[in-house]
């Protein structure tokens, strides 16, 4: 479970294109040109890490479960598999033949996990606990984009500025902070320019520097979304895609 400070770091550092699922599903991603997949060193003391560059992906000390979540962009509650997936920790360094975006790097991680760890998965629809993004009383407090371009979030002094954002993009973005699948139930069909800043509401939760209950940051998220965007996040049950792990090996094949 992430602490409040960890979730704020995720929020502050999140910069990615919010691509639609349909646009990537029909495109077969290229494989990494070269990749090393090893069990993480037992004596490793550094904090687990995940980072990307325009042509590479690096994972250090993350569990196999976390690696699968990264590859398939699934929240914890959307992944069903054996408990030992948490125990297998990996170091992965992979390089593409040329520059690709973050979405492509994640897609390229899927066949790499299949090749080196025998990963086999399938999707099922299940009813689980989710959050729903809805309109608050008074309606949205943002405007439709007046320019063309891809959906993108950019950090700005602890806040996030979004341009050309569909509500489904916003829901996907916020779900990474909420730690639970978040679906769009606003019925807003356009693309919008938005700004969201959690710091005024989350400052008290991390003022002493100690780990806080996850609900502190969830409460800050709910408040910011309502006051700044004119939207509400509500808990409910819904049918969502769940990634089921059919098979995986505990030890990667040789590089």
The per-residue pLDDT for range 79-92, each reduced to its tens digit, is 999 999 999 999 99
Q: Are residues 94 and 157 in the same domain?
A: no
| Residues 107, 165: Cα–Cα separation, whole Å | 22
Domain stop point among 100, 121, 142: 121
In this structure, the answer to whether residues 162 and 233 fall within a common structural domain is yes
**157 and 188 co-located in one domain:** yes
- Tell me the backbone φ, ψ of residue 2, rounded to 5 degrees: -80, 145
Q: What percent of the chain has pLDDT over 70?
A: 81
SS (H, E, C) the chain: CCCHHHHHHHHHHCCCECCCHHHHHCCCCCCCCEEEEEECCCCCCCCCEEEEECCEEEEEEEEHHHHHHHHHCCCHHHEECCHHHHCCEEEEEEECCCCCCHHHHHHHHHHHHHHHHCCEEEEEEEEEEEEEEEECCCCCCCEECCCCCCCEEEEECCEEEEEEECHHHHHHHHHHHHCCCEEECCCCCCCEEEEECCHHHHHHHHCCCCCCCHHHHHHHHHHHHHHHHCEEEEEEEEEEEEEEEEECCCCCCCC
Question: Is residue 131 scored above 90 in pLDDT?
Answer: yes
- Give the Cα separation of 102 and 94 in Å (integer): 13
What is the domain extent for residue 88?
A: 20-121
- In this structure, is residue 254 part of a structural domain? no
Residues 81 and 138 in one domain: no
Render pLDDT for 208-246 as a digit per residue (tens, 0 to 9). 444 444 557 788 889 999 999 999 999 999 999 999 999
Q: How far is CA 227 from the centre of its chain?
A: 24
Residue 221 lies in a domain: yes
Q: What is the mean pLDDT of residues 158-177?
A: 89
Q: In terms of domains, do 152 and 224 share one? A: yes
On the question of pLDDT at 251 being above 80, the answer is yes
Average pLDDT (164-174) is 91
Domain count, the chain: 2
160 vs 212, which has greater pLDDT? 160
Residue 246 within a domain: no
**Domain boundary, last residue among 121, 137, 166:** 121
Q: Give the confidence band of 43 by pLDDT, cuts at 50, 70, 90.
A: low
Looking at the structure, tell me whether residues 117 and 131 fall in a common domain.
no
| Residue 1 located in a structural domain | no
Asked if pLDDT for residue 247 goes beyond 70, the answer is yes
Instruction: For residues 46 and 138, state if they share a domain.
Output: no
105 and 173 together in one domain: no
Q: How far is CA 150 from CA 13, 169, 249, in A?
A: 19, 11, 38
| End-of-domain residue from the set 106, 121, 136 | 121
Based on the fold, state whether residues 135 and 234 are members of the same structural domain: yes
Whether 86 and 41 map to the same domain: the answer is yes
């Amino acid at each position: 479970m992430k602490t409040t400070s960890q979730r704020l770091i995720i929020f502050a550092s999140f910069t990615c294109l919010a691509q639609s699922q349909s646009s990537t599903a029909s495109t077969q991603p290229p494989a990494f040109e070269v990749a090393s997949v090893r069990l993480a060193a037992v004596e490793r003391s550094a904090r687990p890490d995940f980072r990307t560059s325009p042509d590479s992906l690096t994972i250090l000390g993350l569990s196999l479960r976390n690696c699968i979540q990264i590859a398939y962009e699934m929240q914890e509650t959307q992944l069903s598999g054996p408990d030992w997936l948490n125990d297998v920790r990996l170091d992965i360094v992979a390089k593409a033949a040329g520059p690709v975006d973050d979405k492509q790097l994640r897609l390229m991680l899927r066949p790499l996990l299949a090749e080196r760890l025998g990963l086999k998965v399938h999707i099922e629809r299940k009813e689980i606990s989710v959050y729903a993004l809805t309109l608050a009383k008074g309606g949205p407090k943002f405007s439709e984009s007046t320019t063309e371009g891809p959906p993108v979030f950019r950090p700005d002094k602890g806040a996030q500025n979004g341009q050309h954002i569909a509500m489904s993009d916003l829901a996907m973005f916020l779900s990474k902070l909420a730690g639970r699948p978040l679906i769009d139930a606003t019925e807003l069909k356009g693309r919008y320019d938005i700004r969201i800043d959690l710091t005024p509401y989350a400052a008290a939760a991390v003022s002493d520097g100690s780990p806080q209950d996850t609900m502190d940051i969830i409460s800050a998220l709910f408040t910011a979304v309502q006051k700044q965007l004119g939207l509400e996040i509500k808990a409910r049950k819904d049918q969502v895609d769940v990634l089921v792990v059919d098979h995986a090996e505990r030890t990667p094949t040789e590089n």
